[in-house]
Chains A and B, each alone.
Chain A
Amino acid sequence: MNCIIIDDEQTARAIISQLCSETNDLNVVEEFSNALQAIKYLNQHEIDLIFLDIHMPDFTGFDFIETLKKPPKIILTTSDDHFAIQAFEYECIVDYLLKPVTPERFKKAIHKVAGEINILNNKDGVQNFDSNSAHDLYVNIDRRLIKIDIQKICLVEAKGDYINIKTETDSFRVHSSLKKIKEKLPEQLFVKVHRSFIINIEKIIDIEDNSVLINKDVIPVSRSNRSDLMKRLNLL
């Protein structure tokens, strides 16, 4: 993997560079003390990974990402933990390393990147990730990736900037949207019944007028979504 390091602090660049040198197949091709130099470089070179400091004068790491048409994988490096939620809004951001970066944490981040790049490289092959055949969904909660068995999801409810994913036994509050999770759930199992609800049709207990009962929750069904729901049912 070819990578570049962007950080206005030379000490930070030296640390990341050292950690990269101890990692197989990770090659630092350039280091930049500011984002503008890096943008020029990226216009002419293709790379796999960027180690990016968020907190830089004049041009933040997020500003930098916004300028890239097709950003490579990015690992953020920062001394501040309060950017984490914003960071996970960008698909290209794979991990978020707090300074000073430890070798153990660095290795974990590289494993994540390697995994993601493998998925991308296999897109035309048999290992292509397909939400319709996936069994599990990983959600980010307090910077931990928690595995949820998709079959066990009863419903998903949108609440502001968050969604609640309810299984028969648990509830997970995740910073995401109904639109995003819908793309990750198998279409044959899940249906949107209301602007704030997606339900698992196998978990329906009964349907009454404009609501469905799932587990102990009564979920509203909007007029516009009702016909979609009815088409999916095995009606007698």
Chain B
Amino acid sequence: MEQPNISYIQSMSGGDKNFEKKLLDIIKLEFPTEIQAYYNSMRIKNFNDASEIVHKIKHKISILGLEENYRDAKAFEHGLRKGDVALQSNFETTLMIITDFLKNFK
């Protein structure tokens, strides 16, 4: 299973540790809010709103180097627009992996 990494962040920071920290802090701030909004939309079966949030979250999935999960998230996002939730558990596993990664990342 893929694990999150900060290769992309490092590739664009040019060695600027302050920027790396700043970007990870922003992700740590935005990600829980987006997850919450996603679960709220799913709970009331508002799949259009859920798809909008998956769209935002998938950018973070790609920033954290999870290429396969990104492809799955993209498929899930498009599926949601048609009410298709087949990839839901797969996506939610990715959310948990990222949450753990961000929690443990210092």
A residues within 8 Å of B by Cβ? 8-12, 14-15, 18-19, 22, 55, 57, 79, 99-103
A90 CA to B62 CA, complexed, in Å: 28
Q: Which of A8, A14, A15, A101 touches B56 (beta carbons < 8 Å)?
A: A8
Contact across chains for A9 and B59 when beta carbons are under 8 A apart:
yes
Q: Which of A11, A55, A79 touches B30 (beta carbons < 8 Å)?
A: A11
* Residues of the B chain whose Cβ atoms lie less than 8 Å from the Cβ of A101: 12
Given the known interface contacts A100-B63, A102-B12, A103-B12, the answer about A14 and B26 at a Cβ–Cβ threshold of 8 Å is yes
B residues within 8 Å of A by Cβ? 8, 11-14, 16, 19, 22-23, 26-27, 29-30, 52, 55-56, 58-60, 62-63, 74
Contact across chains for A102 and B11 when beta carbons are under 8 A apart:
yes
* Residues of the B chain whose Cβ atoms lie less than 8 Å from the Cβ of A79: 55, 58-59, 62, 74
Q: Which of A10, A18, A99 touches B19 (beta carbons < 8 Å)?
A: A18
Given the known interface contacts A10-B26, A10-B30, A100-B8, the answer about A18 and B59 at a Cβ–Cβ threshold of 8 Å is no
Contact across chains for B12 and A18 when beta carbons are under 8 A apart:
yes
* Residues of the B chain whose Cβ atoms lie less than 8 Å from the Cβ of A55: 55
Contact across chains for A14 and B12 when beta carbons are under 8 A apart:
no
What is the number of contacts between chain A and chain B, taking CB atoms within 8 Å? 47
Given the known interface contacts A57-B52, A102-B11, the answer about A14 and B59 at a Cβ–Cβ threshold of 8 Å is no
Contact across chains for A14 and B22 when beta carbons are under 8 A apart:
yes
Given the known interface contacts A15-B12, A18-B12, A18-B19, the answer about A99 and B29 at a Cβ–Cβ threshold of 8 Å is no
A101 CA to B29 CA, complexed, in Å: 21
A118 CA to B14 CA, complexed, in Å: 29
Given the known interface contacts A11-B26, A18-B12, A57-B52, the answer about A100 and B19 at a Cβ–Cβ threshold of 8 Å is no
> 5 closest Cβ contacts across the A-B interface?
A100-B62, A100-B63, A99-B59, A11-B26, A10-B26
Contact across chains for B59 and A11 when beta carbons are under 8 A apart:
yes
Contact across chains for B14 and A22 when beta carbons are under 8 A apart:
yes
A117 CA to B26 CA, complexed, in Å: 33
* Residues of the B chain whose Cβ atoms lie less than 8 Å from the Cβ of A103: 11-12, 14
Of A10, A11, A14, A19, most buried by chain B (CB within 10 Å of CB) is A11
* Residues of the B chain whose Cβ atoms lie less than 8 Å from the Cβ of A99: 59, 62
* Residues of the B chain whose Cβ atoms lie less than 8 Å from the Cβ of A11: 23, 26-27, 30, 59-60, 63
Closest residue to A19 on the B side, CB-wise? B12
